[in-house]
């Protein structure tokens, strides 16, 4: 994290929220690079901000500007998922609003997150409400691609998780990604462990199937017998590398990263 530049991207009446920005070598404000925005895990609470630092180091080496965004959470700010959703939308708008200063292309914005952080990414892609008052609504917060790890995709009472954290039942229902699937959503890649005890795997499988029925690209990667945090650098290097390689290939396929090959033509992790 000490290699990141810290910039305040949002001020509220109670706090300042920071973006931790990892710039590639030789970066210039005149660049038009892909931006990969990360939102760390936690059920909108007890967020470990450094979770995606290893991912940022990888994508920095791949030529992208990588950013870890803070967002308001229950224990630290006494806020609900609704405020966190607004923060995620503010963050992606901030990238586009400041793209010239950051050296990124406004139409090459990737949103990635885990658990509740993945929920924020989906809400930015799917919803047309829950903006922070005063945010520039004319600037889109919809990312151009999504990379999701053990995502919360359903917050309804019967089948979802996190329902009790919302102030109003209707908020949990209206912000549930499972209830907001339409045609024309950004292409997505999802990683999950089949033994996840925090997010029902059945909800993730249903979500992916529903996305595909609406003709949205949704690449689903299951990891047998693995739990909720299987992909983290400090949990399993094997799964960290496997998921990172797949995310890299996904972004290459979308034209958001350049092909990075070894002499034998196989993709590799940047070093």
Segments forming the whole domain that contains residue 147: 5-253
Domain count, the chain: 1
Residue 270 resides in a domain? no
Position 268 scores a pLDDT of 47
Residue 226 resides in a domain? yes
pLDDT digit string, tens, across residues 143-162: 999 999 999 999 999 889 99
Residue 258 resides in a domain? no
pLDDT digit string, tens, across residues 43-80: 888 788 999 999 999 999 999 999 999 999 987 778 89
Residue 269 resides in a domain? no
Residue given tokens 């008052």 in the structure block: 133
Residue 267 resides in a domain? no
pLDDT digit string, tens, across residues 102-127: 999 999 999 999 999 999 999 999 99
Task: Give the C-alpha distances (Å, rounded to integers) separating 133 from 12, 86, 137, 148, 174.
Answer: 10, 9, 9, 27, 19
Residue 68 resides in a domain? yes
Position 74 scores a pLDDT of 85
pLDDT digit string, tens, across residues 160-199: 999 999 999 999 999 999 999 999 999 999 999 999 999 9
Q: The domain spanning residue 46 has which CATH number?
A: 3.40.50.1820
Residue 75 has which token pair? Answer: 């224990």
Predicted TM-score (pTM) of the model is 0.94
Residue 121 has which token pair? Answer: 């990414």
Quote the mean pLDDT of the chain. Answer: 93
Residue 23 resides in a domain? yes
Q: How confident is the model at residue 1 (pLDDT cuts 50, 70, 90)?
A: confident
Residue 102 resides in a domain? yes
Residue range 217-240: average pLDDT?
A: 97
Task: Give the C-alpha distances (Å, rounded to integers) separating 214 from 220, 245, 263.
Answer: 15, 27, 39
Residue range 214-226: average pLDDT?
A: 98
């Amino acid at each position: 994290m000490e290699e990141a530049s810290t910039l305040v991207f949002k001020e509220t009446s109670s706090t300042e929220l920071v973006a931790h920005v990892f710039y590639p070598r030789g970066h210039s404000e005149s660049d038009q690079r892909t931006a990969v925005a990360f939102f760390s895990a936690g059920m909108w609470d007890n967020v470990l901000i450094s979770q995606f630092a290893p991912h940022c180091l990888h994508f920095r080496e791949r030529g992208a500007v990588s950013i870890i965004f803070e967002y308001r959470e229950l224990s630290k700010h006494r806020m609900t998922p609704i405020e966190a959703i607004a923060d995620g939308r503010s963050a992606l708008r901030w990238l586009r609003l400041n793209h010239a200063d950051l050296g990124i292309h406004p139409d090459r914005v990737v949103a990635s997150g885990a658990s509740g952080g993945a929920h924020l990414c989906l809400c930015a892609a799917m919803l047309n409400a829950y903006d922070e008052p005063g945010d520039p609504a004319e600037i889109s917060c919809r990312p151009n691609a999504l990379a999701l790890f053990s995502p919360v995709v359903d917050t309804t009472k019967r089948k979802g998780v996190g329902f009790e954290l919302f102030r109003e039942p209707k908020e949990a229902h209206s912000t549930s990604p499972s209830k907001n699937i339409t045609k024309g959503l950004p292409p997505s890649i999802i990683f999950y462990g089949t033994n996840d005890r925090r997010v029902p795997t059945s909800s993730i499988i249903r979500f992916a199937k529903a996305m595909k029925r609406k003709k949205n690209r949704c690449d689903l990667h299951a990891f047998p017998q693995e739990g909720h945090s299987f992909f983290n650098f400090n949990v399993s290097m094997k799964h960290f590398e496997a998921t990172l390689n797949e995310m890299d290939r996904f972004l290459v396929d979308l034209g958001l990263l350049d092909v990075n090959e070894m002499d034998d033509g196989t993709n590799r992790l940047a070093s």
